[in-house]
Amino acid sequence: MYCPKCGNEDTKVLESRVNVEGRSVRRRRSCMSCEYRFTTYEKEEDFVFQVQKRDGRVEPYQREKAIRSLQIACQKRPISLEDLEALLSRIEKNIQDDGSRVVPSLKLGELLLAQLHELDKVAYVRFASVYKDFKDPEEFLKELRTL
């Protein structure tokens, strides 16, 4: 870390504090050359990825949009918002671990379906009916039989 006053590269950390959420660190530092004291903040880098739509368009991933879709599928089901947040966090971590910066919407949909399948079968079928674009009741029954 460079001293903001003299530009010296040699600084010493005097104290470190983690913030309440545990996602950033405040450090008090001292320059070893001019003894100037200053504060630095380090925060966790947010993982940002994009979604490639079926028609080829690429747009930023919107967590709020994913939550809304899940909430619609989970209406009148015993599933809390915290459950949905945790579900999405698992999916986002999976994508982050994969290292992809552009994720096909098909892959994202399949990940959502897999997590919903474990969480609630009714919500899974509701989401699948929209995601897989069922055209007639026979497709709906076919999906139900796989459960």
Radius of gyration of the chain (CA): 23
Question: Strand 11-18 vs strand 24-31: parallel, antiparallel, or unpaired?
Answer: antiparallel
Residue-wise pLDDT tens digits, 59-111: 999 999 999 999 999 999 999 999 999 999 999 999 999 988 999 999 999 99
Residue that is written with structure tokens 């069922």 in the block: 134
Cα separation, 147 vs 97, in Å, equals 29
Residue-wise pLDDT tens digits, 35-58: 999 999 998 777 789 999 989 999
* pTM metric for this prediction: 0.63
